[in-house]
């Protein structure tokens, strides 16, 4: 540079200072320089921004104390509000030391980190950084740490954090009641570790379990014994979780220990009580079962399992009552449920849920049980099942003997009655047939002599003839009923035969007959004798529909339905009328010989019908729904299955 263009010394100094100021203004931190007399030399733009409230006071040559007092007066420092003078003196005292760092809060809430250093000429250079965000994060961390410590202090156990090698780095105060050692003994003094306190018999197994969980990145929950400082054993529940970084590296293991010694003692006592209770239940001779309030199995004894679960896979604790019943039905252990399984199941559940009274139950193997179910105070059901098979068999045998005795007595009475009827029939036949024959012949002569002479005796003569025929019919009925006749059966298509019979038997006016002949089977019948039985039943129905004492609604459709249908190995023949029905006190006696409610006849119609049906190996039954009419049902074996019922030879001979 030529001398003519070289800047003057003063100009060079100003140029250097300007360049230096520009350079400092590029800093991201605040910069300030004070001389040895503590007067301002220069400060950058960031510094003035930090102290914008007092920026106008920051002139070159101004003293630090003057600028400071002015800033306090402008309210730049909120911490100086309560004691401005004391605050200023404290700042000036620290400034004289001019060493180290400090933190300063501004009026707008921002925080600055201030670093002051002495220069070689005795001045002070200061660097100021905005640490507001860091302070906020630190406050958040402190709050979280406070919460964590509060949580750890309130957790009923010892909270811990371990490194990957299980070295404890954090332990809550809750560990001391469990182990007898303070938290510092684990983390600071390294006096003891959780692993060392584990019971020797548990240590290897616990290490193996937690190692597997850590390897699979899964939490763990293990129970084991710890030996405390005084040698006492504590049961603990150790629940923890391994923590990994983004690369899958194990950072630490967090967990908590709960003292479960009391729970373990209670469990031991409960097990002992359960063992005693189970032994007591097993020792009783009856089958015992207990269902909880949720209808799930709690327990049952061996006797109950022998009765209801011989295979050992049904009565599982926790299984519901409904599931057990359904499984039993599905396995066929309750054949009585086959007709309506769902209805049977619901009825059985209803009986269980009422849990009141005693009942009896039949189970496979022809065994009988006495059933007692009672509600417990908690809403469960306790059941006792007593095997009463021997008693029940004795009762059944006694009942069967009583029935046999009753039947024998009835047969004896019937035989005596038949013998009486036979004797009466023989006497009536002998004593009345000849006189009736003479009367009939005499009446024939009278008819011959009076015919065409208009004597006015014709109606009287007709009544005599009708009564002669009626007496003759009664004698014939009595003889027929008391004298056994052989029947000759022929395989017959029952539906077609009934159709022809009904077509040839007209109904009285006002009575309709309906046919429902669906049976496709053949039956072996004596057509003449069985026709007598069928028409006898139909005539009885006609007489009921024409009963003058019956007053149905006007235009009531008097109807007789004849139905034939297949019923397994039988053919079922039903004759149904919609007449007045049979009174309940009369119904049980309708098959008794000589019993009648009519003003005519001798009461042998239905007994004769039953006699014919039984000769064909069939049965007959009569039901009546009061004013809803009556139904006569005849069961006949299909052709090939027909076997005549054994008759009482003694009774027949006596009747003969």
Nearest to 515 by CA among 530, 501, 531: 501
| 277 in a structural domain | no
- Cα gap 238→267, rounded to integer Å: 18
Residues 500 and 633 in one domain: yes
Q: For residue 629, is pLDDT > 50?
A: yes
Last residue of a domain, one of 466, 481, 496: 481
Answer yes or no: is 613 within a domain. Answer: yes
- The confidence score (pLDDT) of residue 644 equals 43
Q: What is the pLDDT of residue 647?
A: 37
Q: Which of 25-29, 119-123, 245-249 has the lowest mean pLDDT?
A: 25-29
CA distances from 350 to 319, 330, 354 (A): 18, 19, 6
Of 171, 153, 152, nearest to 161 by C-alpha is: 171
Least confident range from 276-285, 333-342, 480-489: namely 480-489
From CA 453, how far away is CA 130, in angstroms rounded? 157
Asked if residue 303 and residue 452 are part of one domain, the reply reads no
Is the residue at 649 inside a domain?
yes
1 touches 22 (CB < 8 A)? no
- Do residues 525 and 608 share a domain? yes
Indicate if 605 and 526 belong to the same structural domain: yes
Summarised one tens digit per residue, pLDDT across range 52-66 is: 888 899 899 999 999
**Can you list the alpha helix ranges (DSSP code H) found in 1-131?**
9-25, 45-50, 64-73, 84-97
From 115, 130, 145, the end of a domain falls on: 130
Identify the weakest region by mean pLDDT among 108-117, 285-294, 431-440, 491-500: 431-440
Per the listing, tokens 């190995």 go with 569
Counting Cα atoms < 13 Å in the Cβ hemisphere of 74 gives: 17
Reduced to 3 states (helix: H, G, I; strand: E, B; else coil), residue 216 is coil
The reported pLDDT for the residue numbered 69 is: 92
Sign of the C-alpha dihedral computed for residues 261, 267, 268 and 269 taken in this order: positive
Rounded mean pLDDT, 573-592: 86
234 CA to centre of own chain: 41
Is the predicted pLDDT of residue 15 greater than 70, yes or no? no
pTM greater than the 0.75 cutoff: no
Q: Could you tell me if 69 and 166 lie in one domain?
A: no
**How far apart (Å, rounded) are the C-alpha atoms in residues 522 and 520?**
7
Rounded Cα distance, 105 and 79, in Å: 8
153-200 pLDDT, tens digit per residue, is 667 788 898 998 899 988 888 899 999 999 899 988 888 999 999 999
Residue 42 within any structural domain of the chain: yes
Q: What are 88's two structure tokens?
A: 């200023």
pLDDT of 415: 58
pLDDT, averaged across the chain:
82
Angle (deg, nearest 10), helices 84-97 and 64-73: 150
> Pick the residue with more confidence: 482 or 265?
265
Count of helices and strands (H, E) across the chain: 19, 22
Structure tokens at 443: 């009446």
Per-residue model confidence (pLDDT) at position 476: 65
- Asked if 186 and 236 sit in the same domain, the reply is yes
Same structural domain for residues 441 and 544? no
Long-range contacts (CB closer than 8 Å, 24 or more residues apart) made by 154-157 = 155/256, 156/258, 156/259, 157/256, 157/257, 157/258, 157/259
87 and 162: one domain? Answer: no
Chain centre to alpha carbon of residue 363: 25
Q: 3 or 457, which is more confident?
A: 457
What residues make up the domain containing 461?
Answer: 396-481
Domain's final residue, options 465, 481, 497? 481
Report the SS3 class of residue 249: coil
Question: Tens of pLDDT along 490-517?
Answer: 999 999 999 999 999 888 998 999 999 9
The reported pLDDT for the residue numbered 211 is 92
Which CATH number goes with the domain that contains 325? Answer: 3.30.450.20
Structural domain contains residue 440:
yes
Q: Is residue 276 part of a domain?
A: no
Mean pLDDT of 224-232: 94
> Which residues are CB-neighbours of 119 under 8 A, at least 6 positions away?
33, 125
- Asked whether residue 430 carries a pLDDT value surpassing 70, the answer given is no
492 and 602 both lie in a single domain: yes
Maximum Cα–Cα distance for the chain, whole Å? 198
- Answer yes or no: are the C-beta atoms of 357 and 267 closer than 8 Å: no
In a domain? residue 139: no
How many domains in the chain? 5
**216 against 10, higher pLDDT:** 216
The pLDDT tens digits for 354-368 are: 766 678 888 777 888
Does pLDDT of 118 surpass 70?
yes
Highest mean pLDDT among 132-146, 371-385, 409-423: 371-385
Residue 148 resides in a domain: no
- Quote the tokens at residue 567: 């019923």
Least confident of 437-451, 543-557, 581-595: 437-451
Q: Residue 8: is its pLDDT beyond 60? A: no
Q: φ, ψ for residue 335 (rounded to 5)? A: -60, -25
What pLDDT band is residue 332 in, cutting at 50, 70 and 90?
A: confident
pLDDT band at 652 (very low <50, low <70, confident <90, very high): very low
Strands (DSSP E) found in 520-569: 522-525, 558-567
Residue 226 — very low, low, confident or very high, per pLDDT cuts 50/70/90? very high
pLDDT reported for residue 494 = 92
Q: Give the pLDDT score at 650.
A: 30
Between 151 and 72, residue with greater pLDDT: 72
Strands 101-105 vs 40-43: parallel, antiparallel or unpaired: unpaired
What does the block give as tokens for 533?
Answer: 């039985």
Task: State residue 392's pLDDT score.
Answer: 82
Give residue 473's pLDDT. Answer: 63
Closest of 585, 545, 569 to residue 641, by C-alpha: 569
Question: Is 441 in the same domain as 327?
Answer: no
- Read off the tokens for 524: 């072996």
Least confident of 181-190, 243-252, 321-330, 450-459: 450-459
Q: Do both 636 and 517 map to the same domain? A: yes
Residues 160 and 25 in one domain: no
pLDDT at 11 over 70: no
Confidence band for 576, pLDDT divided at 50, 70 and 90: very high
């Amino acid at each position: 540079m030529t001398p003519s263009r070289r800047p003057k010394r003063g100009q060079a100094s100003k140029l250097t200072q300007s360049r230096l100021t520009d350079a400092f203004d590029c800093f991201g931190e605040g910069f300030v320089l004070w001389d040895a007399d503590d007067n301002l030399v220069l400060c950058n733009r960031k510094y003035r921004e930090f102290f914008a409230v007092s920026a106008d006071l920051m002139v070159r040559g101004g003293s630090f104390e003057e600028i400071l007092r002015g800033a306090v007066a402008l309210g730049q420092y909120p911490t100086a509000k309560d004691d401005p003078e004391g605050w200023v003196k404290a700042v000036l005292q620290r400034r004289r030391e001019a060493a180290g760092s400090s933190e300063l809060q501004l009026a707008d809430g921002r925080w600055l980190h201030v670093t002051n250093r002495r220069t070689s000429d005795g001045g002070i250079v200061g660097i100021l950084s905005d640490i507001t965000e860091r302070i906020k994060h630190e406050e958040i961390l402190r709050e979280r740490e406070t919460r964590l410590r509060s949580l750890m202090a309130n957790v009923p156990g010892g909270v811990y954090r371990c490194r990957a090698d299980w070295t404890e780095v954090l332990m809550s105060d809750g560990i001391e009641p469990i182990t007898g050692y303070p938290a510092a003994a684990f983390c600071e003094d390294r006096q003891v570790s959780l692993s060392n306190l584990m019971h020797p018999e548990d240590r290897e197994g616990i290490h193996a379990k937690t190692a597997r969980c850590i390897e699979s990145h899964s939490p763990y929950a293990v129970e084991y014994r710890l030996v405390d400082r005084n040698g006492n054993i504590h049961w603990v529940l150790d629940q923890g979780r391994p923590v990994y970084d983004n690369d899958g590296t194990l950072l630490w293991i967090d967990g908590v220990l709960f003292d479960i010694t009391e729970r373990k003692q209670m469990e031991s006592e409960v097990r002992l009580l359960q063992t005693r209770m189970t032994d007591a239940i097993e020792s009783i001779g009856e089958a015992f079962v207990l269902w909880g309030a949720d209808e799930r199995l709690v327990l049952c004894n061996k006797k109950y399992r022998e009765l209801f679960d011989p295979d050992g896979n049904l009565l599982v604790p926790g299984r519901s009552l409904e599931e057990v019943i359904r499984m039993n039905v599905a396995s066929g252990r309750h054949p009585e449920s086959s007709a309506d399984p769902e209805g049977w199941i619901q009825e059985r559940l209803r009986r269980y849920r009422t849990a009141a009274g005693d009942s009896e139950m039949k189970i496979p193997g022809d065994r009988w049980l006495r059933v007692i179910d009672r509600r417990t105070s908690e809403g469960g059901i306790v059941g006792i099942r007593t095997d009463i098979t021997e008693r029940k068999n004795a009762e059944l045998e006694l009942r069967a003997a009583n029935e046999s005795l009753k039947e024998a007595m009835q047969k004896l009475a019937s035989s005596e009655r038949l013998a009486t009827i036979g004797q009466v029939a023989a006497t009536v036949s002998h004593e009345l047939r000849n006189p009736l024959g003479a009367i009939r012949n005499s009446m024939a002569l009278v008819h011959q002599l009076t015919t065409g002479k208009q004597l006015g005796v014709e109606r009287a003569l007709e009544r005599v003839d009708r009564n002669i025929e009626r007496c003759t019919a009664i004698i014939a009925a009595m003889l027929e009923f008391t004298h056994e006749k052989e029947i000759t059966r022929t395989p017959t298509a029952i539906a077609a035969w009934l159709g022809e019979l009904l077509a040839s038997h007209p109904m009285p006016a006002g009575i309709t007959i309906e046919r429902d002949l669906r049976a496709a089977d053949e039956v072996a019948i004596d057509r003449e004798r069985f026709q007598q039985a069928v028409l006898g039943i139909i005539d009885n129905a006609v007489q009921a529909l024409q009963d003058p004492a019956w007053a149905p609604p006007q235009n009531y459709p008097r109807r007789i339905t004849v139905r034939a249908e297949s019923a397994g190995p039988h053919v079922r023949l039903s004759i149904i009328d919609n007449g007045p029905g049979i009174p309940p006190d009369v119904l049980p006696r309708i098959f008794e010989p000589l019993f009648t409610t009519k003003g005519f006849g001798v009461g042998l119609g239905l007994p004769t019908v039953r006699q014919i049906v039984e000769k064909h190996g069939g049965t007959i039954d009569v039901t009546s729904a009061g004013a809803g009419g009556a139904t006569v049902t005849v069961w006949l074996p299909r052709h090939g299955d027909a076997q005549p019922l054994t008759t009482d030879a003694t009774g027949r001979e006596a009747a003969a």
